[in-house]
Amino acid sequence: MPNPTGASILVVDDTPDNLRLLSQLLGTTGYKVRVANSGAHALESVRTHPPDLILLDIMMSGMNGYEVCQQLKADAATRDIPIIFISALDDTGDKVNAFTAGGVDYITKPFRDREVLARVQTHLALRDLQQQLQKANRDLARRVEEVEARNAELDAFAHTVAHDLKNPLGVVLGYAELLQTNVSVWSPPQLEDITARIVKGAYRLNGIIEGLLILAGARRKIVDFMPLDMGGIVDEVQQRLSRMIEEYRPEIVTPAVAAWPVALGYAPWVEEVWANYLSNALKYGGLPPRLELGADFLIGGQQVRFWVLDNGPGLSPEDQARLFTPFTRIHTERAEGHGLGLSIVQRIVERQGGQAGVESALGQGSRFYFTLPAA
């Protein structure tokens, strides 16, 4: 029966007649056959182009079959190739030595065609099943790793919900209860201050919830990537952050609208990236903050790098390594944050075919960047 897979077989024997007979038998059955007339030639052939199976003679001049098999089994790249010994030696001890060396089967000479084909087909089928099992194990290990990573993220998510939502929610509830129970005793300025604190807490709650929804949606949502009006997106983000800008009174330097390179992406996600980068630069930049925004093409022109440069204290290499880890805070002394923003940035930028990162040194500010495919 022809072999539909076209498996490759290496025949090793120092007798030309045996090489010819086995090559003809296996070749007409549909296998791809290579031959080697010595142990050294066999080792070179296997390491250059590993076959699916090896038929190996034992008694050869120079290096014998046992030695060839032992060397192949000692090499991680070749140890899984099944080896069938073919030999005129029919003693039980010879067969034991063959299996001890690493052979999977033993055929005595003079060999019979049907026996050779049956054993070859059997061990190729076993080899195929073994490879399928190995692939299934690798897939399973990858899925287990993904599940463990998601479980770790869910644990961090639970911590975020329990800790970060609790603080602003406590502020909102506390001041709301003051208004509800003692509204008549507060003066107009006091009422204005209380309601401002409630509004601020509500904005913080809303920001955390929006961030979590974006992070979840970045896993599942399928979007079309279009050329981006980056100048318009940046303007929209500054309007969105108008309350923070009014509070921190930064100097913000941006390119002219026409100077922005055109990149491909999904505008709502890119807006979220800019919002995170700008809000972090406002909170953790200098006093007062100075923000410089810009863009440049990377080598080859296939990617555009967009960035925000601040005048803050800079980051140590250790802090830089932790920045894009979900639910991690760095600057807890400067501003309260939910430690989620840069994780969102990384995930949605990667979903758009780019990368997110930071360049920083202590005392020299930080440049947060993200890349997108050029349009």
270 burial level (CB within 10 Å; 0-12, 13-18, 19+)? buried
Same structural domain, 250 and 355: yes
What does the pLDDT look like over 47-58, one tens digit per residue? 999 999 999 999
Residue 141 included in any domain? no
Let me know if residue 150 belongs to a domain.
no
My answer on whether 232 and 370 are in the same domain is yes
Domain that holds residue 60: 8-135
CATH for 344: 3.30.565.10
Whether 303 shows a pLDDT value over 80: the answer reads yes
* One domain for residues 255 and 192: no
Q: Alpha-carbon distance 213 to 229, whole Å? A: 24
- The Cα-based distances of 336 to 2, 164, 305, 330 in angstroms read 71, 9, 29, 10
**Lowest mean per-residue pLDDT among 104-113, 181-190, 264-273, 354-363:** 181-190
Q: Kind and range of the H or E element at 108?
A: strand 105-108
Phi, psi for 238 (deg, rounded to 5): -65, -35
pLDDT for 302 beyond 90:
yes
Whether residues 183 and 238 share a domain: the answer is no
Structural domain includes residue 140: no
Pick the last residue of a domain from 174, 202, 222.
222
Of the three residues 173, 206, 222, the one that is the final residue of a domain is 222
Model pLDDT, residue 1: 45
- What is the reported pLDDT for 88? 87
Residues 81-91 have pLDDT tens digits of 999 999 888 78
**Order of strands across the sheet that contains 8-12:** 32-36, 8-12, 53-57, 83-87, 105-108
Residue 156 lies in a domain: no
* Mean of per-residue pLDDT scores for the chain: 85
Residue length of the chain: 375
Residues 193 and 260 reside in one and the same domain = no
Q: 214 and 295 share a domain?
A: no
Cα torsion at 90, 91, 92, 94 (round to 10°)? -90
For the chain, percent of residues with pLDDT exceeding 90 = 51
37 neighbors 59 (Cβ within 8 angstroms):
no
How far apart, in whole angstroms, are the C-alpha atoms of residue 287 and residue 312? 8
Identify the domain boundary among 222, 244, 262: 222
Torsion of Cα atoms, 43 then 89 then 84 then 68, to 10°? -20
pLDDT band at 337 (very low <50, low <70, confident <90, very high): very low
Q: What is the pLDDT of residues 23-78, one digit of tens each?
A: 999 999 889 999 999 999 999 999 999 999 999 999 998 899 999 999 999 999 99
CB atoms within 10 A of CB 246: 8
| Residue 293 covered by a domain | yes
Q: Which two tokens stand for residue 276?
A: 């995170």
φ, ψ of residue 370 in degrees (nearest 5) = -145, 150
CATH of the domain at 74: 3.40.50.2300
107: left (phi over 0), alpha (psi -120 to 50) or beta: beta
In angstroms, the CA 168 to CA 23 distance is: 79
Is the pLDDT confidence value at 332 over 70? no
For residue 222, give the amino acid letter. I
The predicted pLDDT at position 169 comes to: 81
Q: Are residues 310 and 193 part of one domain?
A: no
Look at residue 4 and tell me whether its pLDDT is greater than 60.
no
Residue 249 dihedral angles phi and psi, to the nearest 5°: 50, 60
Q: Are residues 210 and 231 in the same domain?
A: no
Quote the pLDDT of residue 5: 59
